[in-house]
Amino acid sequence: MHEGYALVLLRPDNPFYSMAMRGGYVFEHRLVMAKHLARNLQSWELVHHKNHIRDDNRIENLQIIGRDGHNQITILESRITRLENKSTEQAKFIKLLQWQIKEARIEKIKESIKL
Q: Over its length of 115 residues, how does the chain's per-residue pLDDT go in tens digits?
A: 888 899 999 999 999 999 999 899 999 999 999 999 999 999 889 999 999 899 999 999 999 988 777 778 878 888 888 899 899 889 999 999 999 999 998 888 888 887 6
Q: What one-character-per-residue DSSP string does 38-91 give?
A: TSPPPTT-EEEETT--TT---GGGEEEE-HHHHHHHHHHHHHHHHHHHHHHHHH
Overall number of domains in the chain: 1
Distances (CA, A) of 88 to 51, 55, 94, 106: 21, 29, 10, 27
Let me know the angle formed at the C-alpha of 25 by 20 and 11, rounded to the nearest 5 degrees: 80
Residue 14 lies in a domain: yes
pTM equals 0.62
Q: How far is CA 84 from CA 63, 79, 81, 102, in A?
A: 24, 9, 5, 27
Range of the domain at 44: 7-114
Whole-angstrom CA distances from 28 to 18, 48, 103 are: 14, 12, 58
Residue 47 lies in a domain: yes
- Does a structural domain hold residue 1? no
